[in-house]
Amino acid sequence: MPPRLHTLSQALRAVFGRRAKKIPLDAGSSCPNRDGTLSLGGCLFCNAAGSGTGLHLKGFGLLAQWAALTGPARRRGEALLGYLQSFSNTYGPPERLAALLAEMATLPDIAGLCLGTRPDCLDDAKISLLAAAPLGHVRLEMGLQSANDATLARINRGHTAATFARASRDAAAAGLFVTAHVMAGLPGETVADFLATVDFLATLPIAGVKFHNTLVVAGSGLAGLYAAGGYVPMAREDYVAAVCQAITRLPAHVAIERQNADPAPGELVAPAWAADKQGILREIAARLEREDIWQGMGMEREREEEDKECLRRPGGIIPPGPP
């Protein structure tokens, strides 16, 4: 039986011919949704740490972080990928990005780059810089969160779904690998909205997806809404069921890079079940098995239906009417 989903490890092994390790690095980047350009408050679910390690603020440059963090993976003979995770790493003038990429290229034995950013921080000039960087395999991690513009406004994302579609198409056309971040359980959304976001992704040239359950983290706008009784987190079993459905709707080649969110130590306010990352992963795997479903299955069924429909059309070989 082939695997029920295509993981990032499998995708990277196909690229490098061995295991690969993402090394999280903090380049001291900022975000237009936090510095006042778009807003000061940030996305409703984000706190001021911006998912980062904070090492840059503590005075550690990229080379020092790289030297401190690559030892074990190096000893195991793994391909080393620099992972610029925190905030929006393509934000600012192109010259800043050019300097950042040049510095990344000097890190010893770097075999590739994963870079987190926002779709509205990615114009043609920056895409060209990324595509030309001497960094081997380059993956862009871009937040979409929802394909519903009303939700994006509600959570204060500061961009639309069309902005994401444009950026992902342009980046893919330049040879970059795009990973989309999406969330289930956003305020005001149902499971149907989440699955509509997944269907939207399936129409785009993306190479990977990270699924997140919406977390209430300390210091976020969502924490205030939750405390006031204005937000109820998704139930654990509903999240597991929703992700399994989402997996069936994604094309088989898309790498599923994350199946649930990973709260930073001490930051999780709710739901408590989100702290059990491994347990949720086991439940997702068990449900895929129990229901005998797999990645891309929904699209296979859709194609089969289209083929049958084609045969039923005038001139087809199946007579119209009930099956």
Smallest gap from Cβ 114 to ligand SF4, in A, equals: 15
Rounded Cα distance between 246 and 240, Å, is 10
208 counts as binding ligand SF4 under rule CB under 6 A: no
Nearest to 167 by CA among 90, 87, 52: 90
Smallest gap from Cβ 288 to ligand SF4, in A, equals: 29
Using the rule CB under 6 A, give the single segment among 18-26, 31-39, 256-264, 269-277 that binds ligand SF4.
31-39
248: left (phi over 0), alpha (psi -120 to 50) or beta: alpha
Question: Restricting to residues 135-194, which ones interact with ligand SF4 according to CB under 6 A?
Answer: 143
**74 and 18 Cβ atoms separated by less than 8 Å:** no
CA-based R_g, the chain, Å = 21
Smallest gap from Cβ 33 to ligand SF4, in A, equals: 4
Residue closer to ligand SF4 (CB basis): 20 or 152: 152
Q: Give whole-number Cα distances, 5 to 53, 83, 239, 280, in Å.
A: 29, 23, 17, 16
Nearest to 135 by CA among 156, 152, 157, 113: 113
Q: Where are the alpha helices (DSSP H) in the chain?
A: 8-16, 62-69, 71-75, 94-105, 124-132, 149-154, 161-173, 191-201, 221-227, 236-249, 277-291, 297-312
Question: Restricting to residues 72-91, which ones interact with ligand SF4 according to CB under 6 A?
Answer: 87-88
Query: Of 8, 25, 27, 43, which one interacts with ligand SF4 (CB under 6 A)?
Result: 43
Smallest gap from Cβ 163 to ligand SF4, in A, equals: 12
Smallest gap from Cβ 112 to ligand SF4, in A, equals: 22
Smallest gap from Cβ 143 to ligand SF4, in A, equals: 6
Rounded Cα distance between 120 and 142, Å, is 10
31 counts as binding ligand SF4 under rule CB under 6 A: yes
Using the rule CB under 6 A, give the single segment among 13-21, 40-48, 123-131, 283-291 that binds ligand SF4.
40-48
Residue closer to ligand SF4 (CB basis): 9 or 37: 37
118 counts as binding ligand SF4 under rule CB under 6 A: yes
Smallest gap from Cβ 197 to ligand SF4, in A, equals: 16
268 counts as binding ligand SF4 under rule CB under 6 A: no
**168 and 178 Cβ atoms separated by less than 8 Å:** yes
Query: Of 11, 27, 42, 80, which one interacts with ligand SF4 (CB under 6 A)?
Result: 42
Residue closer to ligand SF4 (CB basis): 220 or 248: 220
Smallest gap from Cβ 42 to ligand SF4, in A, equals: 3
Residues in the chain: 323
Residue closer to ligand SF4 (CB basis): 146 or 248: 146
46 counts as binding ligand SF4 under rule CB under 6 A: yes
**Own/partner long-range contacts of 274-278 (Cβ < 8 Å, ≥24 apart):** 274/213, 274/215, 274/233
Angle, CA 89 vertex, CA 189 and CA 115 arms, to 5°: 80
Number of Cβ within a 10 Å radius of residue 238: 15
Binding site for ligand SF4 (CB under 6 A): 31, 33-34, 42-43, 46, 50, 87-88, 118, 143
